[in-house]
Amino acid sequence: MPNSAKPDLRLGIAGLGTVGIGVVKIIQRHADLIAARSGRRVVITAVSARDRTKNRDADLSAYAWEADPVALARRADIDVFVEVMGGHNGPARAAIEAAIAAGKDVVTANKALLAHHGHDLAIAAEAKGLLIRFEAAVAGGIPVIKALTEGLAANQIRRVMGVMNGTCNYILTRMQSAGLPYDQVFEEARQLGYLEADPNLDVGGIDAGHKLSLLAAIAFGTRVSFDAVELEGIGAVSIDDITLAADMGYRIKLLGVAQMTGRGLEQRMTPCLVPAESPLGQLQGGTNMVVLEGDAVGQIVLRGPGAGEGPTASAVMGDVIDIARGLRLPTFGQPATSLATPIAAKTATPAPYYLRMTLLDKPGALAKIATCLGEAGVSIDQMRQYGHLGVNAPVLIVTHKATRDDIDHAVGLFAGTGVLVGKPVVLRIEAV
């Protein structure tokens, strides 16, 4: 049972959408369990949301109501401000800043806010001995931040990699399993409610890029540098690419990769080919997966639900319980004042590349493309020509390992051959 000498840990919850109500339900359902595990009772004092009259499928009558989340953050009767509103500016940012100014610890699920303002917020909080915890901001219910900051704290991290947006993974795996084109599956995902109000946050890689930048900061001891993440969405991936990749034993994933190299910190969130038999290749539907590689531990794989009421609220409560237990760690695993300003490095690590293009069906067309690759220092591993489309010929090339700069140089040379129809699709083949 909890230590009776310890006072209740009092929460103020800003945001009563899916995640906020999930937190309320966990506290109401598991109050005794939480108290037994944390050594004190965790209670909700007050809540805030835009519409007080909305039916939220939870009894909120015991809690004080604040229309303004900033006012909630300043209340004297809360110890921890839980922000699950979203948005990287506006009320969420103002409320977290107010909570820190008022001496409150903060738990948030807001990856966009932390990706843009995390360093400044961490400096402000740590200067006052306060916490910002954000397990729920990355990969939903997967405890990846806890793994990096605690379980793997003695490792030099070599690489962080993963599928961090369930909507994109749903779209890509659905295209493959049903043989459906991107536009049709995109619309299906919209109707199922999988897409953000601004779909580009999902399919453009922005949401997943926010998450990658936070993991990279923890893994490599650097300031969050979301602006340096190379972003490429999945909109250019066609059913042809899905099929051709499968023929060669690969799956296409929106894959985040961060690694420290001699040139600086590489961060990319782009569609990649991964081996079909690998854990990432076998990942289906809306599930997330994060792969962490450390010098002592080797490779570990974390898999689980990346969104939803229960998983995300579970992650929020994991942070709350750590605070209740008295565990106090710096926001990004080491003091924010010690985080290095990273040197952003465009992807320079060599890898094989998949190139799909359409050529005019005339003598010497393929030879011209091969010559361009040779001039750029790129050698060909596989080349396949598929059934003709009238006067055009679809061509697939898989290269040996090359840098992205060399691939881009070759693609630039293609334009001068006079045989290229449209824009080539270029996808990295990632070693996993």
> In this model, does residue 347 exceed pLDDT 80?
no
Is the model more confident about 321 or about 244?
321
Encode pLDDT of 98-121 as tens digits.
999 999 999 999 999 999 999 999
- Which of 79, 109, 137 is the last residue in one of the domains? 137
pTM of the complete model beyond 0.85: yes
Residues 238 and 382 in one domain: no
**CA atoms of 54 and 344, how far apart (whole Å):** 45
How many other CB atoms are there within 10 angstroms of residue 33's CB atom? 11
Q: What is the CATH number of the domain that holds 59?
A: 3.40.50.720
Q: Are 191 and 306 in contact (CB under 8 A)?
A: no
Rounded to an integer, the average pLDDT of 374-391 is: 84
Residue 177 is predicted with a pLDDT of: 93
Of the pLDDT bands very low, low, confident and very high (cuts 50, 70, 90), residue 1 is: very low
**Residue percentage of the chain with pLDDT more than 70:** 98
The DSSP symbol for 91 reads: H
Nearest to 371 by CA among 421, 417, 424, 407: 417
Q: Are 305 and 163 in contact (CB under 8 A)?
A: no
Residues 116 and 167 in one domain: no
As a whole number, the mean pLDDT across the chain is 93
Burial class (CB in 10 A: 0-12, 13-18, 19+), 151: middle
Residues 233 and 179 in one domain: yes
Most confident of the following: 51-55, 214-218, 378-382? 214-218
Rounded to an integer, the average pLDDT of 78-82 is: 98
Place of tokens 């979203």: 86
Residues 239 and 279 in one domain: yes
Residue 381 is predicted with a pLDDT of: 93
Nearest to 26 by CA among 105, 166, 100, 136: 136
> In this model, does residue 298 exceed pLDDT 50?
yes
Residues 179 and 50 in one domain: no
Of the pLDDT bands very low, low, confident and very high (cuts 50, 70, 90), residue 389 is: low
Rounded to an integer, the average pLDDT of 284-313 is: 94
Of the pLDDT bands very low, low, confident and very high (cuts 50, 70, 90), residue 4 is: low
H or E segment to which residue 80 belongs: strand 80-83
Looking only at the bridges linking them, the beta strands covering 420-429 and 264-275 are parallel
**29 in a domain, yes or no?**
yes
Q: Among 211, 253, 368, 401, which one carries the catalytic annotation?
A: 211
Residue 53 is predicted with a pLDDT of: 84
Q: Could you list the residue range(s) of the whole structural domain that residue 25 is in?
A: 9-137
> In this model, does residue 386 exceed pLDDT 90?
no
Q: What is the CATH number of the domain that holds 372?
A: 3.30.70.260
Of the pLDDT bands very low, low, confident and very high (cuts 50, 70, 90), residue 291 is: very high
Residues 15 and 54 in one domain: yes
How many other CB atoms are there within 10 angstroms of residue 197's CB atom? 5
**125 in a domain, yes or no?**
yes
- Tell me the sheet residues that pair with 11: 44, 80
Encode pLDDT of 6-56 as tens digits.
899 999 999 999 999 999 999 999 999 999 999 999 999 999 998 888 888
Rounded to an integer, the average pLDDT of 357-369 is: 89
Looking only at the bridges linking them, the beta strands covering 264-275 and 353-360 are unpaired
Residues 269 and 300 in one domain: yes
Nearest to 288 by CA among 143, 153, 182, 150: 143
Split into its structural domains, the chain has a count of: 3
211 is catalytic: yes
Q: Are 49 and 32 in contact (CB under 8 A)?
A: no
Q: Are 260 and 159 in contact (CB under 8 A)?
A: no
Residues 118 and 213 in one domain: no
> In this model, does residue 3 exceed pLDDT 70?
no
Nearest to 306 by CA among 162, 172, 140: 140
Of the pLDDT bands very low, low, confident and very high (cuts 50, 70, 90), residue 196 is: confident
Residue 197 is predicted with a pLDDT of: 82
The DSSP symbol for 402 reads: B
